[in-house]
Each structure stands twice: as C-alpha cells, then as structure tokens.
C-alpha cells in the first residue's frame, strides 16, 4: 500500500530543514505539495515556511504565508520567527499586531529580536505588556529580558526578574542564572553576582566570562585574572570569547589606578597578557578575527606597538576595527606619523574609515599637540556625533586651551548634539581650571536636563566648579541632594572647603564621611592633611596620621608627601624626616617637601644635604626643587652653596631659571651684603620690571644701610607699583636708622602727596585653653613695615589698629 503522501512530504521537509538544504529543494517540495493537492494542509505549509526561512528566502515565505487558507498560531509564529530572524522588526511588529492568538513563543520571538537589534528599552516594554496580559515567562523569556537589563544597566528590572525566577523555579537554570549574573556584574553589584556564582551548580564558560567582566569593570583586575585561573583549574571549556574577555582584563590592568601608581602592576599585566596569547595559540584560536582584535587592543594599551604590529601583520584577515585599534594605539603612544601611515594603508586596501577612525585620528593629533590638524579633521566630519565632539574637547583640554573647550561646548549645544557624561566632565574640568562660573552653570543646566542628571562623576565636577568660584552653598546643595554618594563626591566637597580656606569645615566633612561608612582614599587624606596644616592643630594631624596607618596608606607617595609637608609646616621637622626615611618610594614632590621643610625651619645645611642626596640618588630636580633649596640657602646664609646650585640649574639639570630663582639668589646675596654680585645678576635677568626683585633688594639694603642702592630700588618700585606703601616705609626706615631725618620726612611728604597709607597688619595666634577647646586672639603684627608718623626720633611710633 502506498505510503501517506502528507507524511512522506513532512518527512522530506524535516530532512531539508535539518540539512539546511538549498532554495531549489524548497521550491521542488513546494511544487510537490501543490501537485499532490495538499496546499490546504496547514501543517505542511508551516514546515515549508520554516524551510524557506532556513534558506533565507523571506519573500517566498511571505507569499506562502499569504496563500495559506487556514492559518493557525504555528503559521503566524513561523512567519513572525522569519521576520525576527532577519531583523525586519517593523514587519515583525505588524504581523504580531495582526495575530488573533498569541502564545509565549510569539512574545519570546519579538522580545529576543528587539534585544538582538539593540532596542533593549522597547524589548522591556513588550515584556511588561506580556506580563500584564497574563503570559508566563519561560527561561527563554527571562534570558532575553535579562540581556536587555544588562545592556541598559537596569538593575531594578533585573532584581524583579530574579524574584520571578525564584518564584517559578528557574533560578538554577543556566541561561537565567548567567543572565542574572551578567546584570549584577555589569551594574557593579559584585556581591550579588558572587553569591549567584557560588550558588550555581555547574558554572560554564559564560558564567566565568561574566564574572571576569564584572570584576574587571570595577578595577578588581587581580580577582578577574584569578577567576580565569579557576575556570582553567575546573576544566571549564575555554573558548575564543572567554579568551577575548581575559585579554580585556589584562588591558584594563594597564589603565587602572593600581597600574598608574605602580609600574610593577603594568609589567604583571603585560606578562599575563602574553601568557593568554600563548594559550590562544595552543588552543588554535589565534586566527580568529575577534580574538586577534582583542590581542591587538591589549598590546596597544600596553604601549607595546611593536608586538601589536607583528600581530597585525600575522592576521589572516582584517576588519575596520583592526585598523582603528592600531591607529588608536599609535596615537596613545605619541606616534602621530605612524597613525597617519596606517590610515593611508587602510584606505589603499579598500577599507572605508568610519567615525571611530576619525575619532582615533583626532585623539592622535590631540595627544601629539597638533590641534590644528585635529580641528581640520573635525570640521570635515559632516555630522559629528557626541563621541567626535568629546574627542576634540578632550584635545583642547589636554593642551590647556580651556577657553576653546567652553566655546566648542556652546557650539555643540547650539547644534543640539546630545551631551554624555564624558562631555560634561571634560567641560567641567576646564571650568574648574579657570573658574568659568557662567559656563559651569550652563553645564549644570545640561546635566539637569539630560539622562545623566544623577551621574556622580558629573556631580563631583559641578561641586568642584562651584567650590572654585566660591559658591559653596550651591556646591553643598548639589552634594546634599544626590541620591547616593561616592568617594569622589565626598572628596570634591572636602577639597571645596579647603580651597576656600574653610579648613575646619573641611575636617568636619571628613569626619562625617567616615561616620557614614565611606572609606577615605589617598586624595581624601592628602586634602585633609593640608587642612590640618593650615589649622595648625597638632592633635588633628596626628589623628589623621594614625588613621592613615590603620587604612594602609603610609606607602602611598601622594599621601606621604602631604604628611611630610604637614609636619614641616608645624615645625616638627624631625618627625617629618623620620617618616621620610621610612617611605619605600619617593616622588619629586616628596623630596621637595623635605627640602622646603628644612629651609622653613632654618636648617639650611640639612636642606642642601638632602638636595645632594636626591641628586646622587638619580632623581631629577624640577623648578620647585631649586626654589626650595635656594630659599633655604638664603635664609641660612649659605651664599656660596646657593650660587653653586644656582649655576648648576641650567648647565647640569636643564632647568631654566625663572623669577623665583633669581629672587632667591638676589635675596641670599643681599642678606650677606654682597651687593656688587647682586647687581651683576640683577643687570642680566629678564625680570627687571617685576616689583618683587626690587622689594627683596630694598629689604636687604635696609639690613646693611646701603642707601644708594636702596634709593635705586625704591625709585624702581615707585615707577612699577606707585600705590604700594612698602618701598616708602622701608626707605624711610633706612633714613631713620641713619639719623637722616630730613630725607625720612621727605619720604613721608611724598606718601602724603600720593595719598598712600599703610594698611594695618593682623596675625592670628591659637592659644590652647584646654584639652577640648582653643581661643583665637587677634594681635597687632609688629614687623619691618613700621610707619613713620613724626618728624624726628622723639616722635616715631608704630601705627596700627587692634581689631
């Protein structure tokens, strides 16, 4: 008996679907169905639509769908699946809306297609509608929805899905579990992600990759690498995706905070990256394009462009991404010419530069300081995106052209280009650097209107701008209205009070931060130590020092340098030296603070000694170093040592002397009464029209009663700064000390004719009144700035006011 033709055709259709047969086979079977009179068989038609879909023939599938007389839910799902697979989302929505009956498969198809197409928010809206209409989620539903949550960093929606998964018993499903873990990891909730990881019965390569990504994203590079080692120890299959992920972790290790502070971490990350490269070769993945690009990116971020270029040359094929990575790497390495060469090669080989290429070239020009070329490239982009604007803004910020940053930001606003957190952060950095209050307010408005209105990174920048512009009430208001706070926001407020000389308030905020459970970082400690220095409070400084030891920041160069500065400022130079000697590593700032501390305490020999120790140790002195050591020589009378160091600046160390250096050496010579040498230097310097040089010389003339040179210095000061009372007072005092009353009186008359008066001076003295309190007393400053108020020695007095 002849076999049922419908069953035979169904079997052939299934075989063709499984073997992904050619379109011709689908058409032959279609013809057989028509000839057999089975065109009305809905089951066969549904399978034929599926076969056309597998053959990528959406038109034939749609024609068949339209011709089916008795469509059922499987028919509708078949054509919906085809549109979703092809990414034809508008057609998919049209079919979905026309469906009289839907099931979970229908919803899952549409949600999954939206997520794949990058429409995560729209996918979540469809999911919400699905739930409202009473459809039960499956593991496929939750996997797609969690993928959307991860893309949008919507942890709240992820938590709702987590609760539902527990309720319907899907929390241990590997697809759902991996989706949840990805959401928590991407959103920075590592504690939740870690707990999920521990609870998963059989974590796979996706699980480990998600954990590595989450740990890396929060700069826990070491833990991320350890996760990869655990993955290998457990025998979990290592694929090209997990290898790309761990290469990203290694790359991140070159740009994280730890790597910035310690060159050893950079070496360790480089070593790990090369080990992963070796493993990729061993496993046979080295020829994959995605993994190859990850290797290029890793070497480029290390700055190892030789290895990157070798890897590039050995790649069997390239993508635009490959070229972009190389161009970006050369730009970051200040090799602008190589970046240009690769751009030319890219175009010669038929690769079309995209916007990322333009941004990378912009960044390369900016990194090398060639903003003229960068601007030309930017102007040639027909419709620059936010990323392009960010690149040009960052370039101008890098070269310190803050005015141009603000100008371009206003132009960007005028063109209605949306800002992101990078845009606002760059512009706020410029506003803070120059105190541009109005521009800062414009950024504030854009921040409130935009999608990043709660972004803590931008909020901390706003706090810094308002603090710099002495608008502390606004800064405080922004701080107090943030829904959550991070260490950067706390640091911005603490620094804001400090730069406005409200050091007591700065210390109070520091204590409040600790009470709220926030752990200080090195920037926090450096700022609050500076405030302790200004307050002159020994007890507060020592409390902070104790906390620094407890929190393990004693080896931090930044904190250590500030701590030395605090002790030196309080006159506790021996304590500063003890800590200095214990520091495992020192920066130029550390050495400068110690030299300055000795100079401040009148210990010139020690200052010169530690300067020479620094030179012998191979540390390169900077301009600040020479100011510190020359000041110490001046105050301690070490004139010959000062001259020797001054002469070595340019000759031995390549540091061009500036006004402060000349002022120090002239002061040293003047204090020693070596006016002839001082005049020789004075006649050579390019700063003859700066009043401070002549003020220093005039002060020295008063000490040694050098009337002729004093008169020359005073005349120069009368010319340069006619309303300054100091030269009149100093010159009058010289005449008075020599008993030349007529000339002293002439100076007094000259002051009166020019309506010049001396401002009273004040000093604050902190008296310890008890263990818990202190009293501030205003006291008249009795200094060299005496004011001559009478015609002769019998009528001289000091004029001042006690406030």
Q: pLDDT, tens digit, for every residue of 331-361?
A: 888 898 999 899 889 989 988 888 888 888 8
Average pLDDT over residues 776-800: 32
DSSP bridge partners of 780: 762
Round to whole Å and give the CA distance between 352 and 473. 52
More confident residue, 157 or 55: 157
420 Cβ partners below 8 Å, 6+ apart? 386, 390, 450, 452
Residue-level pLDDT at 793: 32
pLDDT at residue number 124: 92
> Is residue 383 classed as helix, strand or coil in its secondary structure?
coil
Is residue 632 predicted with pLDDT exceeding 50? yes
Residue 257, pLDDT above cutoff 60? no
What is the predicted pLDDT for the residue at 283? 87
Q: In angstroms, rounded to a whole number, what is the distance separating the alpha carbons of residues 226 and 60?
A: 52
86-91 contact pairs (CB < 8 A, 24+): 86/56, 86/58, 87/113, 87/116, 87/117, 88/58, 89/113, 89/114, 89/117, 89/119
- Tokens read off for 577: 């030296």
C-alpha to C-alpha distance for 464 and 553, rounded to whole angstroms:
24
Question: According to the model, what pLDDT value does residue 798 have?
Answer: 28
- Which of 254-258, 316-320, 396-400 is predicted with the least confidence, judged by mean pLDDT? 254-258
Q: How far apart are CA 91 and CA 431, in angstroms?
A: 49
Tell which residue, 291, 195, 190, 308, has the closest CA to residue 242. 291
Residue with tokens 């989620």: 137
How many other CB atoms sit within 10 Å of the CB of residue 405?
A: 28
The secondary structure of the chain in percent helix, strand, coil, rounded to multiples of 5, reads: 70, 0, 25
Nearest to 381 by CA among 363, 406, 355: 355
Band (pLDDT 50/70/90 cuts) for residue 34 is low
pLDDT surpasses 50 at 547: yes
At 767, phi and psi to the nearest 5? -105, 125
For residue 17, is pLDDT > 50?
A: yes
416: left (phi over 0), alpha (psi -120 to 50) or beta: left
More confident site: 768 or 665:
665
Report d(CA 771, CA 762) in Å as an integer. 26
Question: What does the block give as tokens for 23?
Answer: 């379109």
Beta-strand relationship, 774-780 and 762-768: antiparallel
How large is the average pLDDT for residues 512-538?
A: 86
Token couple for 15: 């075989």
Look at residue 762 and tell me whether its pLDDT is greater than 60: no
| Res 696 pLDDT > 80 | yes
| Cα–Cα distance for residue pair 566/596, rounded to 1 Å | 11
Instruction: Give the pair of three-digit tokens for residue 738.
Output: 């020599």
Instruction: Kindly tell me if the per-residue pLDDT of 641 is higher than 90.
Output: yes
pLDDT digits (tens, 9 = 90+) for 585-618: 899 999 999 999 999 888 999 999 999 999 998 8
Q: With bands split at pLDDT 50, 70 and 90, how would you rate the model's confidence at 8?
A: low
Going 162 to 167 to 171 to 173, the CA torsion angle's sign is negative
pLDDT digits (tens, 9 = 90+) for 182-192: 898 888 788 88
Residue 265 has pLDDT above 80, yes or no: no
Task: Report the pLDDT value the prediction gives residue 264, as an integer from 0 to 100.
Answer: 46
Burial of 70 (0-12, 13-18, 19+ CB in 10 A): exposed
pLDDT single digits (tens) 83-111: 787 777 888 888 888 888 888 988 998 99
As a whole number of angstroms, the longest Cα–Cα distance in the chain is 145
Least confident range from 209-223, 488-502, 748-762: namely 748-762
Q: What is the mean pLDDT of the chain?
A: 81
Least confident of 120-134, 254-268, 752-766, 788-802: 788-802
With a cut of 60, say whether residue 419 has pLDDT above it. Answer: yes
pLDDT at 262: 44
**How many Cα atoms occupy the beta-carbon half-sphere of 653 within 13 Å?**
22
Percent of the chain topping pLDDT 90: 22
pLDDT at 760: 61
pLDDT at position 11: 67
Q: Is 60 exceeded by the pLDDT of residue 36?
A: yes
Helix, strand, or coil here: 798? coil
Helix axes 221-233, 240-252, angle to 10 degrees: 150
pLDDT of residue 769: 44
Exposed/middle/buried for residue 92 (C-beta within 10 Å: 0-12, 13-18, 19+): buried
Between 23 and 97, residue with greater pLDDT:
97
Rounded average pLDDT over 278-283: 87
Q: Is 602 helix (H, G, I), strand (E, B) or coil?
A: coil
Residue 303: name the closest of 338, 354, 348 by CA: 338
For residue 60, the model assigns a pLDDT of 64
Task: Note whether 716 and 710 are within 8 A (CB).
Answer: no
pLDDT of residue 770: 43
Rounded Cα–Cα distance for residues 167 and 303 (Å): 50
């Amino acid at each position: 008996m002849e076999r049922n033709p419908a069953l035979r055709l169904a079997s052939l259709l299934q075989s063709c679907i499984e073997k992904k047969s050619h379109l011709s086979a689908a058409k032959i079977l279609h013809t057989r169905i028509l000839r057999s009179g089975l065109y009305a068989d809905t089951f066969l038609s549904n399978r034929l639509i599926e076969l056309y879909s597998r053959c990528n023939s959406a038109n034939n599938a749609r024609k068949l769908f339209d011709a089916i007389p008795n469509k059922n839910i499987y028919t509708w799902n078949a054509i919906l699946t085809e549109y979703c697979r092809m990414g034809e989302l508008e057609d998919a929505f049209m079919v979905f809306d026309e469906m009289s009956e839907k099931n979970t498969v229908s919803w899952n198809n549409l949600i999954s297609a939206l997520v794949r197409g990058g429409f995560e928010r729209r996918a979540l809206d469809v999911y919400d509608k699905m739930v409202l209409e009473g459809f039960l989620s499956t593991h496929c539903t939750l996997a797609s929805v969690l993928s959307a949550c991860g893309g949008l960093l919507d942890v709240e929606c992820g938590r709702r899905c987590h609760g539902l998964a527990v309720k319907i018993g899907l929390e241990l499903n590997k697809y759902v579990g991996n989706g949840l873990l990805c959401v928590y990891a991407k959103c920075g909730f590592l504690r939740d992600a870690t707990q999920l990881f521990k609870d998963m019965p059989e974590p796979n390569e996706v699980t480990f990759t998600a954990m590595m990504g989450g740990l890396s994203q929060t700069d826990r590079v070491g833990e991320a690498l350890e996760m990869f080692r655990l993955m290998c120890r457990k025998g979990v299959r290592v694929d090209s995706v997990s290898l790309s992920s761990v290469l990203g972790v290694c790359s991140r290790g070159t740009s994280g905070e730890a790597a910035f502070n310690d060159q050893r971490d950079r070496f360790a990350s480089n070593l790990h990256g090369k080990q992963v490269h070796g493993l990729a070769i061993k496993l046979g993945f080295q020829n994959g394009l995605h993994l190859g690009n990850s290797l290029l990116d890793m070497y480029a971020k290390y700055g190892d462009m030789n290895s990157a270029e070798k890897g590039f040359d050995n790649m069997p094929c390239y993508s635009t991404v490959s070229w972009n990575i190389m161009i970006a790497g050369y730009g970051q390495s200040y090799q602008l010419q190589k970046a240009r060469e690769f751009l030319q090669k890219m175009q010669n080989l038929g690769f079309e530069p995209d916007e990322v290429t333009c941004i990378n070239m912009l960044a390369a020009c900016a990194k090398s300081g060639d903003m003229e070329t960068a601007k030309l490239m930017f102007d040639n982009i027909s419709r620059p995106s936010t990323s392009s604007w960010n690149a040009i803004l960052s370039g101008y910020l890098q070269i310190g052209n803050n005015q141009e940053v603000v100008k371009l930001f206003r132009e960007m606003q005028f063109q209605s280009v949306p800002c992101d957190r990078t845009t606002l952060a760059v512009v706020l950095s410029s506003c803070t650097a120059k105190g541009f209050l109005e521009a800062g307010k414009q950024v504030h408005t854009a921040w409130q209107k935009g999608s990043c209105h709660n972004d803590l990174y931008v909020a901390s920048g706003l706090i810094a701008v308002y603090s710099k512009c002495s608008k502390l009430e606004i800064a405080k208001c922004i701080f107090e209205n943030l829904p959550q706070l991070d260490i950067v926001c706390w640091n911005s407020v603490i620094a804001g009070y400090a730069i406005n000389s409200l050091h007591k308030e700065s210390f109070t905020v520091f204590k409040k931060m600790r009470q709220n459970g926030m752990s200080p970082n090195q920037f926090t400690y450096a700022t609050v130590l500076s405030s302790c220095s200004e307050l002159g409070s020994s007890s507060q400084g020592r409390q902070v020092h104790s906390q620094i030891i407890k929190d393990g920041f004693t080896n931090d160069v930044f904190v250590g340098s500030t701590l030395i500065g605090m002790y030196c400022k309080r006159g506790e130079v021996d304590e500063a030296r003890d800590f200095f000697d214990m520091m495992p590593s020192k920066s130029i700032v550390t050495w400068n603070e110690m030299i300055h501390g000795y100079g401040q305490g009148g210990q010139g020999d020690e200052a010169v000694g530690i300067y020479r120790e620094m030179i012998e140790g191979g540390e390169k002195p900077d301009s600040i170093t020479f100011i510190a050591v020359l000041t110490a020589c001046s105050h301690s009378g070490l004139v010959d040592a000062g001259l020797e160091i001054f002469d070595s600046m340019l000759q031995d160390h390549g540091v061009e002397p500036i006004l402060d250096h000349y002022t120090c050496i002239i002061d040293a010579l003047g204090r020693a009464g070596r006016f002839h040498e001082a005049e020789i230097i004075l006649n050579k310097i390019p700063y003859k029209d700066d009043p401070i040089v002549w003020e220093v010389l005039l002060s020295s003339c008063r000490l040694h009663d050098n009337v002729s040179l004093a008169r020359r210095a005073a005349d120069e000061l009368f010319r340069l700064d006619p309303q300054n009372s100091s030269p009149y007072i100093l010159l009058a005092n010289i005449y008075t000390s020599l008993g030349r009353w007529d000339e002293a009186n002439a100076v007094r008359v000259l002051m009166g004719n020019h309506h010049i008066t001396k401002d009273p001076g004040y000093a604050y003295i902190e008296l310890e009144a008890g263990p818990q309190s202190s009293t501030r007393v205003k006291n008249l400053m009795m200094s060299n700035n005496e004011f001559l108020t009478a015609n002769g020695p019998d009528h001289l007095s000091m004029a001042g006011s006690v406030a």
